[in-house]
Amino acid sequence: MNFTGKYKFGSEENYEQFMKALGVPDDAIECGKTNKFDTEVVQNGNEFTWSQIYPCHTTTNKFIVGKESELEMLNCDKVKIIVNLEGGELLMNFPKYVHTAKIEGDKLVETSVCDGITLKRVHTKTV
């Protein structure tokens, strides 16, 4: 499965509840509700550069599947984890939540689960 592409933000479910479960402050949650982001992924074999492009900044994570990498979490903390690829799906076990990403047709589907609350984001490939 090749993730390379540019993806436009499409929809999300349970954003506010998930971020509260993660401990994100209310003002940052409000900002996130209005500032949607696009995603750009460059995959070269097992090496990934994953960028989320917001109106005011860009967050970029670089990782190699199966090797420890430092990644920025949804609450902006940085942690070292190992990203795995299982059945065409990227799996990231962060300290407070589990995150997966997969391609479904022309969609990038990301799912994060924290304390039983699932945040689902869907992005549509543009290039």
Query: What residues does each domain of the chain span?
Result: 5-125
| Structure confidence at residue 13 (pLDDT) | 96
Give the model confidence (pLDDT) of 74-83 as tens digits: 778 899 999 9
Q: Quick one: CA dihedral 82, 6, 56, 111, positive or negative?
A: negative
Prediction pTM value: 0.92
Question: What's domain 5-125's architecture?
Answer: Beta Barrel (2.40)
Average predicted confidence (pLDDT) for the chain: 93
Nearest 10 degrees: Cα torsion 71, 65, 5, 114: -50
Residues of the chain under the 50 pLDDT cut: none
